[in-house]
Amino acid sequence: MSYKWEVKSSFERLRRRALPASVAATALLVASCTGGSEAGPAATTGPNYHPTGQIVVLSGRFQVNVTALDTATDRERQVVLPFARGTYTDGWPGPDGRFYAMPLSFGQQSQSQLFLLGPRVRPQKIGPPVSGVTGFQVTAGKALTWGCPGDMQLLDLAAPTQWTTIGNACAASLSPDGKQVAYMSHGGLFVMDLPDGTPREVLRLRDVPELHQQHVAPQSLDAVTWGAPGIAVAAGDASKTAIVVWREHGEPAVDPLGTAQFGRMLWQPGGRLLAFLEFLPGGEVFTFDPDTGTERQVGISRDSDQMSWAPDGKVLAVARSLNVVALIDPEGRQMGTLTSSGVPLLWMR
C-alpha cells in the first residue's frame, strides 16, 4: 500500500494546511493493524526495497532503553548501556556494528562521556568526560560537542586523549569530510577550517529577503546540519519559523514553515533532500529540495522527534505508532514496516 501526500513549492506556502482527516485516519489505521506489543513476523516490504542493516531504537518512559533492530529479520537485541545518567538524543555510526552515543545531563557543570555502544558488547569509553554539553556529532574521525551557552569542543578519535575548545556556539555541525565546522552566532552562520582556522561569516539571517517577506524573525533557533547540498539552519521565533539552506554556489534556499514548530533535520545520504519533522501542530514528516524550492509531505509520525534515513538514502524510518516503524520513500509511499519497541534514532549499515 502506498500513500500520496501534498507537494507544494515552499515559496508559495504562507501557513501549514492540515492533512485531510480521511488520509490521517487511514494512516493511523494501517499502523494499528500492522503492529502490536508482541514481536511480529518478518518485515513487510515493497517490491523494490528490502531493508538491511540495524536501526538503533529508543524506548521506555523517558526513552532510556536502547536496542538494535535487525531490519532483515525484524528482531531486536538489547544494547548494553553504561552506568551513566542522561538522555540519549542522538547517535552516530561507529566501527564493527557499534555506534557513538553520549547520554546528556543538561547543565553547565554536568559531565558527559562519549561511548561506543552495541548489542551484547560492553560500553567503551572514548576520550575523557566533557562538561556543559547540549549536543554532539561524530563524523569522519572527529567528535564535536557544543553547549548553550557553552563551548564547542573537538576530539580527534585517532588519539582521543583531550577535548580542545575551538569556539563558542549553541548549535554546530561538522562538514561531511570532517575538515570544517559550521555554527550559528548572533544571527550569523560561520564556517571554520579545523582545527584552528579563522571563522568566516557566510550568511546573516537578517540579509535573507524571504525571511522578511514571510515575516519570520531573523533569529537562530539553534539547529544546524551540514550535508553535501549545503548547510541547513533553523530560523524564527515562537510565532513563525523557517529553514534556510546556505550553499557555496547560489543564493540561500528558504522553506517558510508558518506557525509550525519543527525538530530534527536530516540530510539524505547520497542525495539532495533535507528531511525534517514537525512535532507541532502534529507529527508530520517533510522533505525539502533546496535546488527546486519544493517541499513534500511524505508521512506522519507519532509524538516523537526521532527519525532516520536508511544508509542508502532510499527510505526514511519513521515511528508510525508505538510498535511500528514505517519505511517511507521520498515520494511518500510506504515501502514496508518493521515491528519495534520504540522510535528510530539511527540507521546503520
Which sequence spans correspond to the domains of the chain?
A: 169-310
φ, ψ at 131 (rounded to 5°): -105, 155
* pLDDT tier, 84 (very low <50, low <70, confident <90, very high otherwise): confident
For residue 38, give the 3-state DSSP assignment.
coil
- What are 296-317's pLDDT values in tens digits? 999 887 756 789 999 999 999 9
- Read off the pLDDT of each residue in 92-116 and give the average, rounded to a whole number: 89
CA distances from 275 to 60, 287, 308 (A): 25, 4, 9
- What is the rounded distance in angstroms from the CA atom of residue 112 to the CA atom of residue 273? 32
CB 143 within 8 A of CB 126: yes
Which range has the worst mean pLDDT, 73-77, 103-107, 143-147, 184-188? 103-107
Could you tell me the three cell numbers for 119?
548489542
**Fold adopted by 169-310:** Methylamine Dehydrogenase; Chain H (2.130.10)
Which is more confident, 11 or 194? Answer: 194
CB 158 within 8 A of CB 124: no
Give 10's DSSP letter.
G
- What are 157-185's pLDDT values in tens digits? 999 999 999 999 999 999 999 999 999 99
| pLDDT tops 90 at residue 28 | no
Of 326, 316, 235, the residue nearest 271 (C-alpha): 316
Neighbour order of strands in the sheet with 284-289: 7-9, 294-300, 284-289, 274-280, 261-267
**Predicted local distance difference test score (pLDDT) of residue 100:** 98
- What are 119-158's pLDDT values in tens digits? 989 999 999 999 999 999 999 999 999 998 789 999 999 9
| pLDDT tops 50 at residue 36 | no
CB 48 within 8 A of CB 292: no
| pLDDT tops 60 at residue 200 | yes
- What is the rounded distance in angstroms from the CA atom of residue 53 to the CA atom of residue 97? 9
